A and B are shown apart, each in its own frame.
Chain A
Amino acid sequence: MNAEFKLFNISKSYGQREVLNIDNLEIGGGRIYCILGPNGAGKTTLFRIMSLLTLNDTGKMHILGEEVTWQKSQVVRLRRQMAMVTQTSFMFEGSVYYNVAYGLRVRKTAAAEEKRIVNESLELLGMMDFINQQARNLSGGERQKVAIARALAVKPRVLFLDEPTSNIDPASALDIEHYIQYINKEMGTTIIMVTHNLFQARRLSEEIFFMWEGRIIEKGETQKLFDNAQDKRTRSFIKGEIVF
């Protein structure tokens, strides 16, 4: 399968501080990929560049078969094939229905179709009972489920998950992990996630990219990387010696 993401010499600096420097990164498709690393490793910056939310300073990117030129129409076209769920799962002011329908409305989906997809997405996440509630009044776990339903409603080819369970209770976290696996296996959506949680990375992902000070220092199949990491920094992180 062709890579969904190809990055060459991508760098990003804020002032004098370089936060990202990726020589070469290829992410295929159809699997659950995990970007792992300590705080300040550049995971979120990489995530934002890949999801076209932050401009890279240097380098070239191919996303979903297109070389990224950052033309407005191209950015929107590519973004419409992706979706993102963040750890804070920001909710727009309004009902759960409004939030889940948002991505469909910006695509000018017909009202009947919109209703059908919103219901279907909420049903899948077990959130139908909340459809008319104010989204901002929900608990962290419920909001996260709505955020996933909202992302699924637009049928993305790639789903980005930024620390999707870091702010929620363990039971809801397990629930969400179950949905992540379902979305990947049953719907064929490529999932790229950032997490601090080693156990979660091991449970969910099939391939891991380990980041350190803005660079990818090791990558490989999850099990292999956990069993036999080559880089001592990766090994330290996996052993829990680096806890930040």
Chain B
Amino acid sequence: MDVIWQGLKEGFLLIVAMDPELVHITLLSIQVSVSALLLAAIMGIPLGTVLALKEFPGRKTLLNITYTFMGLPPVLAGLLVFLFLSTSGPFGYFQLMFTPTAMIIAQVLLGFPIVCGLTARAVMAQPQEVFDTAATLGATRRQASWAIIRESRMGIIAALTTALGRLIAEVGAVMMVGGNIKGETRVLTTSIVLETRMGNDSSALAIGMVLLLIAFLIMLLILSLEKRTFTDERRIQIV
């Protein structure tokens, strides 16, 4: 219990003192995870929608692959990126290994299937009536598809929060392709691993607290978007 109390105290002091190293690590964590989330969303939301709405050969296989990759182990994602970006790999020429870019690529690999798969589920959960209503009111196929996406937005936001939760807390991939280099690729999760290995349990806990706080603030931001679009928040009433 002492370690936990010590960790909480240290964490509080670290936040209050705005330790420059911690600030740098925190900003890099946010930069990497939010960039990866944005890229995953830019690719995953349209592709998830297409998988849900378009009938084409191989659609079900693609969906199953997407669902499988939702459980991609971070270390495996890191390894794949490592193999492609290392000097002997096909993209070694770009010298991206041990840079934040490599970490973003690895996290996109983890976040994209989540955003794509959950978007597809959210869109598929919509009733036929959404299309029918839009179409009978004169919508083109594109406009009707947009109406379906609009109706699915609560599910899409859930996809984004789920992906962010995975990315911000992920350590295996960023450790493998980032290398946890102080001042360059060290992020909050890799710092926690380092502090734990060095036996500084309370420091590790303190950084963990900061990580949770950051995750909470980003989620709050995403959820505030949801609230803005969902003035009619309906819940199942259980009496």
Cα distance A111–B180 in the bound complex, in angstroms: 55
Does B19 have its Cβ within 8 Å of any Cβ on chain A?
no
Interface contact B143-A136, CB-CB below 8 Å: no
Does A70 have its Cβ within 8 Å of any Cβ on chain B?
no
Cα distance A88–B134 in the bound complex, in angstroms: 14
Q: With a 10 A CB-CB cut-off, give which of B129, B136, B138 has the most chain A CB atoms.
A: B136
Does B127 have its Cβ within 8 Å of any Cβ on chain A?
yes
Q: Give the residue of B130, B138, B150, B232 whose beta carbon is less than 8 angstroms from that of A106.
A: B138
Q: Give the residue of A52, A84, A106 whose beta carbon is less than 8 angstroms from that of B139.
A: A106
Cα distance A80–B129 in the bound complex, in angstroms: 17
Residues of A close to B134: CB separation below 8 A = 102, 106
Does B21 have its Cβ within 8 Å of any Cβ on chain A?
no
Interface contact A106-B137, CB-CB below 8 Å: yes
The prevalent SS among residues of B at the interface is helix
Number of A-B residue pairs with CB-CB distance less than 8 Å in the complex they form: 62
The A-contacting residues of B in range 9-47, CB under 8 angstroms, are: none
CB closest chain-B residue, reference A150: B137
Type the 1/0 row for B132-164, where 1 means its CB is closer than 8 Å to any CB of A. Answer: 111111111101000100110000000000000
Residues of A close to B138: CB separation below 8 A = 76, 79-80, 103, 106-107, 154
The B-contacting residues of A in range 84-115, CB under 8 angstroms, are: 84, 86, 88, 90, 92-94, 102-103, 106-107
Q: Give the residue of B135, B140, B141, B150 whose beta carbon is less than 8 angstroms from that of A92.
A: B150
Does A223 have its Cβ within 8 Å of any Cβ on chain B?
no
Cα distance A84–B129 in the bound complex, in angstroms: 11
Interface contact B129-A106, CB-CB below 8 Å: no
Does B54 have its Cβ within 8 Å of any Cβ on chain A?
no
Given A76-B140, A80-B138, residue A136 in contact with residue B132 (CB < 8 A): no
Residues of B close to A76: CB separation below 8 A = 138-140
Interface contact B130-A90, CB-CB below 8 Å: yes
Given A92-B147, A134-B231, residue A53 in contact with residue B132 (CB < 8 A): yes
Interface contact B137-A154, CB-CB below 8 Å: yes
Interface positions of B (Cβ within 8 A of A):
127, 129-130, 132-141, 143, 147, 150-151, 230-232, 234
